[in-house]
Amino acid sequence: MSQPSGNVMDKIVALCKRRGFIFQSSEIYGGINGFWDYGPLGVELKRNVKNAWWNDMVHARDDMVGLDCSIIMHPQVWKVSGHFDLFSDMMQTCRQCKKLYRADHVGPELAESKWFQAFRGLVAEHQEQPASQDFVEQWAERKGKKLAPGLAPAIKAIGRVDERLIEAGRNQTLAAKLAVYCPNCGGDLTDPRPFNLMFETHTGALQEDENKAFLRPETAQGIFVNFKNVCDSTRIKLPFGIAQVGKSFRNEITPRNYTFRSREFEQMEIEFFCHPSESGRWYEYWRDLRMRWYTELGLAGSRLRLREHDKDELSHYSCGTSDIEYAFPFLAEGDFGELEGVAHRGDFDLRSHMEGKLVAKDGQLVLDVGPDGKPKWKGSGKDLTYFDDERKERFVPHVIEPSAGADRGTLAFICEAYTVDESRPSPELMKFHPRLAPIKAAVFPLVNKDGLPEIAEPIYRDLRKRWPCQYDAKASIGKRYARMDEAGTPYCFTVDGQTKEDGTVTVRDRDTGHQERIDKSRVAEYLGRHLHR
């Protein structure tokens, strides 16, 4: 058995398309960058991820309630939250090929780019200064066909071979900081400039500024602005959380890495409200619990890590933030990508929605004021404090926010499940945790005759009442097993000649290929026990 390696991501993407997990959005029109569709297996898988989250975070707890808020909210929400002014990435454009980059992605992309790798080869061969542009061009010409695509035009485009580039050619770490050359063509990049990630739209018939609205870039704000509604309409008492699952939209500059960075995606967010004196403890509780959730659903500890943000990485209001990260196979060796952020947000959000947009000044949160001394964006003016009956105290609760991406989680579970077992006739299989598997079991008659379908069909109909199952009577039994392995179906039940004699069927385990016989009357009980093990 081998762990995936090499161009494993290409194989995963191919399997996901072939078996109907994930399709490119609007594929028949050439696709649209940053948008994805989930096929028949994918929709079940992602729903199982969201259901597992909802079940474990909401239903299984006494201190959590749910919400489902609208995607378009009052525009003031985003002004007060800071998204309108600050929710932007720094962006650079290549003056030559016009490609757009997120400024913090340029260095790493440059270091990986074909032309730069080839340029490093040149520097390595000529430890003495490859002094002039002529020298480089002659070298490029001499090497001719062997050159990585893009090097010769890149050198021309650069029009100079400066010291910094040569230094970076010698030193890969320095290259990552050289964010001035286009990783694609070597052209000059513009200076970084902010680019707001919120999608804009208009409500009503008139496309005027006063009707401008935004597609939410996170689900969290819907929770904050409903805090009072939830307190008034339920009997829940602090500490408690509000959970929401739903779509969010960000006009990402460079959507990439499959569904990892999309422009439309789903989030699973919790805002957990507590007394300020207890927020440090709750932060640690949620950080550790969320980390465990992923391992319990099958992500290997070795590919998962908890990264505590450095003090200078923290948002101005945060006393602590951790990212739960996964070593996705499309990342360079040793790199991890964020699955979920767990943030201690203090009282920033509730206070902002009461008072107006806040900024940090001398370690304090103060109202952001314009040059005229007036608040830049006014809050609702509503009282979002909480009165604690037991403490006899009124305060603005602190908030811990575990914010997970449903698509990134689903992608991590797909990558983790992908397994190649060369000893099998069809080596690719998906080892999903039984809770996440899109199809829980398949029922096959060994042959589609001799009275076997008459025994198999009732077994299937019985299982289907409780779990998503499939019935398949066509093709060789080996092919049918292989199809179920690729779909990640944990168990297959086969009715054969012996069933007619002694009432037993075979059950085959996806992961081991091991088969045993059980009585056909025990199939549902067997499946229930094994799925919930």
Where on the chain is the footprint of ligand ATP (CB under 6 A)? 218, 250, 252, 261-262, 265, 267, 338-341, 403-405, 407-408
Q: In what order do the strands lie in the sheet with 398-405?
A: 64-67, 240-249, 264-274, 398-405, 337-346, 320-326, 304-308
Query: Minimum Å distance from CB 255 to ligand ATP?
Result: 7
Query: Minimum Å distance from CB 331 to ligand ATP?
Result: 12
Query: Minimum Å distance from CB 340 to ligand ATP?
Result: 5
E strand map for 275-333: 304-308, 320-326
Q: What is the longest distance spanned by two Cα atoms in the chain?
A: 91
Query: Minimum Å distance from CB 186 to ligand ATP?
Result: 27
Give 322 or 419: the residue with its C-beta nearer to ligand ATP: 322
Give 42 or 150: the residue with its C-beta nearer to ligand ATP: 42
Give 313 or 393: the residue with its C-beta nearer to ligand ATP: 313
Give the span between the Cα atoms of 404 and 398, in whole angstroms.
19
Give 190 or 315: the residue with its C-beta nearer to ligand ATP: 315
Backbone angles phi, psi at 330, to 5 degrees: -85, -5
Cβ neighbours around 512 below 10 Å, total: 7
Give 321 or 470: the residue with its C-beta nearer to ligand ATP: 321
Query: Minimum Å distance from CB 220 to ligand ATP?
Result: 9
Give 196 or 403: the residue with its C-beta nearer to ligand ATP: 403
The set of residues, in sequence order, having a beta carbon less than 8 Å from that of 459 and lying 6+ positions away, is 443, 493, 495, 505, 520, 523
Q: Which residue has the tokens 């039984």?
A: 434
Query: Minimum Å distance from CB 314 to ligand ATP?
Result: 12
Backbone CA torsion sign across 405, 406, 407, 412: positive
Query: Minimum Å distance from CB 221 to ligand ATP?
Result: 12
Query: Minimum Å distance from CB 296 to ligand ATP?
Result: 18
Strand pairing of 491-495 and 441-445? parallel
The set of residues, in sequence order, having a beta carbon less than 8 Å from that of 312 and lying 6+ positions away, is none
The set of residues, in sequence order, having a beta carbon less than 8 Å from that of 384 and lying 6+ positions away, is 227, 228, 350, 351, 353, 354, 396
Give 336 or 526: the residue with its C-beta nearer to ligand ATP: 336
Helix and strand numbers, DSSP H then E, in the chain: 19, 25
Hey, is 29 helix, strand or coil?
helix
Hey, is 506 helix, strand or coil?
strand
Give 88 or 201: the residue with its C-beta nearer to ligand ATP: 88
Query: Minimum Å distance from CB 268 to ligand ATP?
Result: 9
Give 353 or 408: the residue with its C-beta nearer to ligand ATP: 408
Give 405 or 434: the residue with its C-beta nearer to ligand ATP: 405
Query: Minimum Å distance from CB 45 to ligand ATP?
Result: 16
Give the span between the Cα atoms of 224 and 350, in whole angstroms.
6
Query: Minimum Å distance from CB 190 to ligand ATP?
Result: 21
| Cis preceding-peptide flag for 239 (omega within 30 of 0) | yes
Tokens of 329: 């196979």
The answer to whether 212 touches 75, Cβ cutoff 8 Å, is yes
Residue number with the smallest Cβ distance to ligand ATP = 405
Query: Minimum Å distance from CB 326 to ligand ATP?
Result: 10
Give 261 or 510: the residue with its C-beta nearer to ligand ATP: 261
Give 314 or 420: the residue with its C-beta nearer to ligand ATP: 314
E strand map for 363-509: 364-367, 386-388, 393-395, 398-405, 418-420, 428-430, 441-445, 469-471, 491-495, 504-509
For 54, half-sphere exposure in the C-beta direction (CA atoms, 13 angstrom radius) is 14
